[in-house]
Amino acid sequence: MAKRKTKYVCQECGYESARWMGKCPGCNSWNTLVEEIDASSAGSRHAMGRDTKTAHRPESITTVEMQKEPRITTIMKEFNRVLGGGIVPGSLALIGGDPGIGKSTLLLQISAQLADKQLPVLYISGEESIRQTKLRADRLGINTELLYVLAETNLMDIINQIEQTKPAFVVIDSIQTIYREEVTSAPGSVSQVRESTSELMRVAKSNGIPIFIVGHVTKEGAIAGPRMLEHMVDAVLYFEGEQHHTYRILRGVKNRFGSTHEMGIFEMKEEGLREVMNPSEIFLEERSQGAAGSTVVASMEGTRPVLVEIQALISPTSFGNPRRMATGIDTNRIPLLMAVLEKRVGLMLQNQDAYIKVAGGVKLDEPAIDLAVAVSIASSFRNQPTKPEDIIIGEVGLTGEIRRVSRIEQRVQEAAKLGFKRVICPDKNLEGWTAPAPIHVIGVNTVQEALEEGLIG
């Protein structure tokens, strides 16, 4: 008998080694290399020598025939928005999120909505029994005949059921519980996740069936398994939110069929998730009037403008090194903006603790929020409140200049719709368009000008 070959595979990044090592050279993680049986290369050698008559041949792009397939839309418009207009037939999407955040609830509701449209749906659960899934369906008020439930973890049995049932939509919860018998490693390992996802991709593309798979996340918030998993699928969605709050955010970070960084807002109720059509009102409903350190910014989440409140608290430090803490934005941007305020405006912030928060649990990462954060810091430091009817937008440069931002028209229209009176934005953004009549747009070139316009007193 031929000697069985083994290899050691890192369970974090997929790095392969011929011998065991305590520290993975790929991701520097400790004790993550697990011994696995190396698959025989006979199959690959046979594949390389296959008949060229059956192999695909290159084709000119001008002769490729297009067949436009309509997207599958759900009742939830927020879900359709994140996917770029609906579910694409034959696509493979990955949705991740913290435990208990509502991933299974969301997908079960989507499955029921599609089943109500006379589309057969197959919901496969590897973590719950059929009766447990039925309990959740009863709580959500779901009772439709075309929603089929299967409790299975064997990949080949799942594929056989998909080919026999011919569903219009498939949900697999979760990919870490699925295993393939030919792969000797345990379910959830790098090899199992990679092989299972690759086989599901083949099934989705060959049959034109959209498949949604649920992925567990690590303690850092990233989807567990190899990074290759996110590269293989067509769309990657993150379901975010605090378990102690009712609002949930579905964010698209990858989408081959639409724009990325789209955001959908949902509210968790006893009967399931309910979409929030106007999230700006939700984020601003508890805003304190006349409080120092509070500003409102119009941030773009994909193609949608969202108004959120940025709060800052500046207080003298009790230690040698002042603290810089932020929730909802990158902490590294706080020292940068405070240095600009010190150098260009003259605020002595080097002995002040700074605490910045984006109200509502939203995460903002675009540069257009820089000016609002800087004005919040100055407002709290001087104890001068901002004008409550103002929206502040702009990117701050290291020389104190205010740089232009994108989609200024949509931001101003959203501010006017919610009753704001003024918008402080970069002066360069005032060219080539006219603001709506009820709102007044003020252009500024420096941080000093923005503080003079935005602060009271």
CATH of the domain at 262: 3.40.50.300
Residue 292 contacts residue 384 (beta carbons within 8 Å): yes
User: Do residue 414 and residue 298 come from a single domain?
Assistant: yes
The percent of residues above 70 in pLDDT, for the chain, comes to 92
- According to the annotation, is 264 in a ligand binding site? no
pLDDT of residue 105: 94
Average pLDDT, the chain: 88
52 within a domain of the structure (yes/no): no
CATH code of residue 429:
3.30.230.10
- According to the annotation, is 117 in a ligand binding site? no
Residue 139 has what DSSP assignment? H
CA angle 221, 223, 224 (to 5 degrees): 110
* Model confidence band, residue 26 (pLDDT cutoffs 50, 70, 90): confident
- According to the annotation, is 75 in a ligand binding site? no
Rounded to a whole number, what is the largest CA-CA distance in the chain? 88
- According to the annotation, is 104 in a ligand binding site? yes
The 10s digit of each residue's pLDDT in 50-66 is 444 556 788 898 888 87
392 within a domain of the structure (yes/no): yes
Q: Tell me the torsion sign for CA atoms 262, 263, 264, 268.
A: positive
54 within a domain of the structure (yes/no): no
User: Do residue 177 and residue 230 come from a single domain?
Assistant: yes
Of 152-156, 319-323, 377-381, least confident by mean pLDDT is: 319-323
- According to the annotation, is 129 in a ligand binding site? no
The average pLDDT across 207-230 equals 79
User: Do residue 323 and residue 251 come from a single domain?
Assistant: no
Residue 42 burial (CB count, 10 A): 8
Counting Cβ atoms within 10 Å, is residue 91 exposed (0-12), middle (13-18) or buried (19+)?
A: buried
189 within a domain of the structure (yes/no): yes
Of 244-248, 304-308, 353-357, least confident by mean pLDDT is: 244-248
pLDDT of residue 55: 62
State yes or no: pLDDT of 220 exceeds 70: no
Range of the domain at 15: 6-39
CA angle 43, 45, 50 (to 5 degrees): 90
Of 97-111, 216-230, 240-254, 367-381, least confident by mean pLDDT is: 216-230
* Model confidence band, residue 43 (pLDDT cutoffs 50, 70, 90): very low
State yes or no: pLDDT of 91 exceeds 60: yes
Domains contained in the chain, number: 3
User: Do residue 270 and residue 289 come from a single domain?
Assistant: no
User: Do residue 107 and residue 154 come from a single domain?
Assistant: yes
DSSP-H helix ranges across 3-150: 42-48, 77-82, 103-116, 130-139
User: Do residue 196 and residue 296 come from a single domain?
Assistant: no
Instruction: Give CA–CA dist 401/28, Å, rounded.
Output: 41
Residue 70 has what DSSP assignment? P
Of 103-107, 160-164, 178-182, least confident by mean pLDDT is: 178-182
State yes or no: pLDDT of 111 exceeds 90: yes
The average pLDDT across 412-436 equals 91
The average pLDDT across 326-343 equals 94
Smallest Cα–Cα separation from 207: which of 107, 69, 55, 80?
69
CB within 8 A of 8, min separation 6: which ones?
16, 17, 18, 19, 20, 21, 33, 34, 35, 36
pLDDT of residue 47: 41
User: Do residue 387 and residue 251 come from a single domain?
Assistant: no
The 10s digit of each residue's pLDDT in 278-288 is 888 888 888 88
Residue 359 contacts residue 311 (beta carbons within 8 Å): yes
* Model confidence band, residue 44 (pLDDT cutoffs 50, 70, 90): very low
Instruction: Give CA–CA dist 231/14, Å, rounded.
Output: 14
- According to the annotation, is 254 in a ligand binding site? no
- According to the annotation, is 258 in a ligand binding site? no
* Model confidence band, residue 318 (pLDDT cutoffs 50, 70, 90): confident
CB within 8 A of 298, min separation 6: which ones?
305, 306, 307, 368, 391, 393, 411, 412, 414, 415, 423
State yes or no: pLDDT of 49 exceeds 60: no
Could you tell me which residue, 47 or 2, shows the higher pLDDT?
2
CB within 8 A of 142, min separation 6: which ones?
108, 109, 112
| pTM, full prediction | 0.77
- According to the annotation, is 272 in a ligand binding site? no
Instruction: Give CA–CA dist 94/227, Å, rounded.
Output: 12
Query: Which of the listed residues 261, 277, 293 is the one where a domain comes to its end?
Result: 277
407 within a domain of the structure (yes/no): yes
